[in-house]
Structure 1
């Protein structure tokens, strides 16, 4: 860009906010060779998954911030707790604001064994105002099949509070949700079945891509010295376990995870309109395109004034003060719009040029979306 054109750009874009776009990667650099990564960083073996657990429990010890005494579910839950200790208390007789019914959730990891502990999240299921200071009573954690896999219990950790008195309320964060680190003990272990009936395992890519799947299969065959892997689709690579390792496959899985490969990456431009952030790779290219972006500002101001009657010596029923509204419309338009001709550039070059000319981030986002709509941006535009 020559000096005269740059000067026109700076004149046309003067007065705008400083650009807040952050370009990660090599801004303005040419396409670079992808660094090899481990296969374990691209996905996981089929069957490796976590299992959701949920339970219904009671939190006690609250300082008057629990469920209302008229809450029937809280009354019934507390009466059920008393019945476990040979105490017969009718639900109608339960009157307490120090108790809250809650839902308890947790994730049971793969290969969890009896005696392991997992973190739990406790959320209010009634009208409690705060769970600060509460303790969760013994709660069975069930899976979707109805079987109990863990037991949760312990004091809650709540990252907030709520106090109110005489109509005044002081609250921080969300006090009706808490957690118990290592609050659930696994009672029934789980095992993941990785091997199918043909004694094969399947590696599943986190992001489906035919090129990457083919490269992973070729890398496994090349680095393990045998034709063991074959890409079945864009996500799955089927791997045969050698006969000598089928009895003890852990070492074979470890070798697969540490195979290095150069994955193929899709061109993406990520835009966060809430924070004004633009993230793109340095080699995402755009076709020849001309961009013109102007700025038109319109402000409408209304002023109310009181008009007093003049030269009136005696007030009458028809004489009074009048309110007059004066409206002014101001239009501020730049003399010339900003213009740039992009020829075989990258998105990084374009954003860097716009940032140097002090184009604000909102305008950069609008320009990128317009370039994508014009068909000149050959990348996936992700708007968050």
Structure 2
């Protein structure tokens, strides 16, 4: 029988979100209903609210979530009621050319739940990133549920569902940071700080944080940055080159996603170094013009990192275990815990740069 729960909905572009009654159907084949315990407030949710993703309003927001599986549909075997899970937006198909090559993290046919959650009026909702977890319960594809150690607090675990994993993966998976490497991270919000933490975890010995906000630079030190660069006062490229013996960093991660920061990343890497773009550009942005000889003469690699090139079933449990071992300080990302009806306030704090992550706790 369908259930009625409370959830945060963006009804129209640019309008304040509201708490509405959501109708959650019973799970069908390959689906699961999850009782959400916590969900982080991510910039992507604000992009949905502002119409920056698409115009398929109304949106059921929230996607950085952890909770407990309540029920599953026919054919589901990987998770069962009672399992503590982190939700992801990459349920892989297992059949596409990437999956058949043994690289399911690049699956070209990821999917979400087939049934639609609705408002009481019957109007269908578009769940953010196929999840919609600013709600007491949500319906997803069972493959979007990754079982992890239940000892981790849900308000910490859920952050691996998007931004934190994107940053960690940008350093570890995409950038291939190794022992003794030098790494620079441009942009020290949640994703950038996660990239710093990932670089430290992978063994980088020089980790340079670049931002224009002194508060963010101070926070970056908590995640292991060995050097900071205030880009208001210093030339970021010159500073990075200076901190790396005049060579440039082995890996430079652009966690902003603007033409000017990408160009800085390109200029600040060592010969044959790697640039990783994990900040999300807007559709109208174009790559900066650079002489083609510079691409040729530097060598190395220019990479984009989508969701940190993560494979949830591989990476989520590993990152949870590292946190429980005291090696990955995921709790430092949580700035505050809030209720469902405080999401709009959390968006404003996000705009002002006053929080790293607000987390809805249900």
TM-score using structure 2 length: 0.17
Of Structure 1 and Structure 2, the greater helix share is in: 2
Greater fraction of residues in strand: 1
Larger Rg: 1
